[in-house]
Structure 1
Amino acid sequence: MARKAVEQELSRNRILCEARQLFIEHGYHALTMRSIAKAMGYSHGALYYHFSEKAELFYALVTEDFRQLLNQQREMLRRTRLGDMAQLEKLMLEFIKFGLENPNHYEIMFMIKDPELQRYSRTEQAQCLDLFATVVRSVVAKQDNSENKMYNLPWSLFMSMHGFISYNIHYSQSFKDVKKLAEQHVKYLCEGLQG
């Protein structure tokens, strides 16, 4: 009976949402399950009903965020034709949009500095990069002398987008604020592929 009341009061999604902000503001090591619960106005037992430890809570955040991003990207890819430059442009712009519309998610997914925490996102980061690399390589494969670009180019393009997102997150710019600039950035990158 008590567990049912706790579940109704404090949902898993609410914990994830509020914990994400706390991890960004205070860092992983500064928080405990008790401090997270206190910041939310609940007892730490309410959190333990959903998560057995802080690491499990953090990992749930990471996997949820990557699942959301990968689902959005896969859905967009299903609606477009593999190998088209327009598909790559759309994928890149969608990635930038995701990062700037979800800055707290993006910071946890791609900007965590702590080596211990980075391991929680390595598999998901690799899936995201592999999906992006597949699209880049399908475009590059249609060009002459494509062998030289197949492996380094996806990483370079990804890092360029990451830099754009990180810079704008740092200055609290939303996607709406920089949409035209983002579109131009993606166009320049894609024009460079054709040269």
Structure 2
Amino acid sequence: MFTVDKVIGNTCQKDVPSISGKSQILFAIVYTTRYLDLLTTYISAYNTVMKIVFIAASYATVYLMYLKFKATYDQNHDTFRIEFLIIPAVALALLINHDFTVLEILWTFSIYLESVAILPQLFLVSKTGEAESITSHYLFALGSYRALYLLNWIYRYYVEDHYDLIAIVAGVVQTVLYCDFFYLYITKVLKGKKLQLPA
């Protein structure tokens, strides 16, 4: 969690945008395991560049939070135990996958893990009780990105007669996790209020 001290008159006020480093670590793991096919398969220059950008950006974010701006990252509130997400995702990937090969299991693991990678962020917001506007917009963008996958799957089913049950179920789980946040975002943040969770 980033904290910025503002001095107003004789009082000191803390501005808390509440970004979870744990969620950022999980996203770095997700993109690394999902895009290891970079080493074996070439699809297009665009595809390759975008995969590299996703991986590099996720590690750059982790670096900035934990090293470069370590002094402004408050780990006291970012306490979610990510092993409780990683271990079940590994187990599920080993049990339910399309093909029992290393790359396929890693891809499946990344799908399962991404569906719950936002939980440390949501836990952090619930623990602090509120989120600044920038954090709220960030969470909304993350949730919208995943919700748009639902439209992509509908399109691919009708146009290409293709569907991936593992990805669809994981995407639905992730979208459901965002539902309460979406409601609060629409009813509070879009009206110019700070996102505060009900007591």
TM bucket, shorter chain: 0.3 to 0.5
Instruction: Between the two structures, name the one with larger relative contact order (CA 8 Å, sep ≥ 6).
Output: 2
Kindly name which structure, 1 or 2, has the bigger radius of gyration based on alpha carbons: 1
TM-score of the two chains, using structure 1 as the length reference: 0.33
Q: Which has the higher helix share?
A: 1
Higher relative strand content? 2
* TM-score, normalised by the number of residues in structure 2: 0.33
